[in-house]
Structure 1
């Protein structure tokens, strides 16, 4: 009955291949990226059954073409009936980090640009702490991903209360999915109260009445690199310890779930 959030980075694009920072630029997948995600879909749904289509309740996606194209390719092996039972929600909160002046640049080009502007004289640039000039800072990214996580974890709670399994898939990008994973368990991030208007506003980032909006009193953001890796086409699994929605955790085994008789039989520690 453990609920899961399965994060999927879109397949290869020309810029993910070259290492260029790709935020708002709307690129399609390369031919390799298309085949890459078709293989992924066959693997997780058909060949190895890492994901049971009957348990997939929602797919949340970035609005960018490369993410939406990846969904279509991953779901190719599903029947029309199976696809019809999955709600796909396009959510602006899951867009890639807005890189501003760094859009389309390579890391060494960003470092050189910042140096020419008199920045980073004492410590090297760290996007997780310093953000992007004329783009987003880390608090802005943390806030919108905190909103997305709150919605997904609430949907998992509803499924748990109804004694149903729910795999929710999230299709997005390299930086935001690593950020998303780091915020999931609340252990690697900094908590911030929603004091200012921009922190309290409901941006109406998606349109689906079946997904309750969760008003945040606090949100979380990163102030350093979480040191998570997720290559183009990569998949990660987030879940909950002890089947408890109150204990969000990273599932290190990913989609490779051991059979029930091999799973840990540790009992939950009683709460005071």
Structure 2
């Protein structure tokens, strides 16, 4: 008698890029293509030992240099493909600004709930994340690595688990942190979150 157990879905590893000057200062970094700091390069290199025991069928990275360099220093640059949908949230008029500064003009402002003129709102980023999830689930792969950015990866995990982008507000994600999405039986789950090498 053949085993009729359905094949488990893929594990999707989310890897946030290492530190940049703007991530260190708390400035929103969406479309600005900023480099890793020296500390960010050390963080990215430290990821190599954490990821070395994994075999990835697919490695995708944001087109931004901070994600590409993190991927390279983590030892997966030779397998990586650029995936435009992994780019960070477009912060529009708030690009390069800190939340505290924005709130001087817009009290209670939050990237998760407030309008973002000339940029993307949470629903738009959530739709982008869902489209990427749908594409990844259509692939015949069991292990995927995604190198991307804090707000986008938080949104992706939120959409994966609940279809609600706003859950991302509750998922803190450090620089050069690793998280894993997968399944608990047939239910999508956040398997690991915000691991440091």
TM-score by shorter chain over 0.5 = yes
Query: Are 1:228 and 2:171 an aligned pair?
Result: yes
For 1:56, what is the secondary structure of its paired residue?
coil
Structure with bigger gyration radius: 1
Q: 1:241: how far off?
A: 1.5
TM-score (norm 2): 0.87
| 8 Å contact from structure 1 (residues 19, 106) kept in 2 | yes
Q: 1:23: how far off?
A: 0.5
Query: Which digits, 9 at most, give the CA deviation of each residue in 1:33-58, with x for residues without a partner?
Result: 1111111112331xxx3x2xxx3011
Q: 1:254: how far off?
A: 7.7
Q: Which runs of 4+ in 1 moved over 6 A?
A: 253-256
Rounded Cα–Cα distance in structure 1 between residues aligned with 2:34 and 2:124: 24
Rounded Cα–Cα distance in structure 2 between residues aligned with 1:153 and 1:90: 18
Q: 1:253: how far off?
A: 7.1
1:38 to 37, 45, 50: 45
The gaps in structure 2 that reach 5 residues or longer are 1-6
Rounded Cα–Cα distance in structure 1 between residues aligned with 2:127 and 2:145: 20
In the comparison of the two structures, how many residue pairs are matched? 189
Rounded Cα–Cα distance in structure 2 between residues aligned with 1:253 and 1:233: 12
Q: 1:89: how far off?
A: 2.6
Instruction: Report what 1:251 is aligned to.
Output: 191
1:238 to 164, 181, 193: 181
Q: Considering only aligned residues, what root-mean-square deviation do their CA atoms show, in Å? A: 2.2
2:146 to 149, 160, 170: 170
Instruction: Report what 2:126 is aligned to.
Output: 142
Change over 3 Å in CA distance of 1:240–1:112 after alignment to 2: same
Change over 3 Å in CA distance of 1:31–1:240 after alignment to 2: same
Change over 3 Å in CA distance of 1:239–1:138 after alignment to 2: same
TM-score (norm 1): 0.64
Change over 3 Å in CA distance of 1:223–1:33 after alignment to 2: closer
Rounded Cα–Cα distance in structure 2 between residues aligned with 1:104 and 1:21: 5
Q: 1:223: how far off?
A: 4.4
Q: How does 1:83-232 map to 2 (within 5 A)?
A: 83=78, 86=79, 88-114=80-106, 124-155=108-139, 158-159=140-141, 166-185=142-161, 187=162, 189=164, 222-223=165-166, 226-232=169-175
Change over 3 Å in CA distance of 1:65–1:100 after alignment to 2: same
Q: 1:130: how far off?
A: 1.6
| 8 Å contact from structure 1 (residues 58, 168) kept in 2 | yes
Instruction: Report what 1:59 is aligned to.
Output: 59
Instruction: Report what 1:260 is aligned to.
Output: none
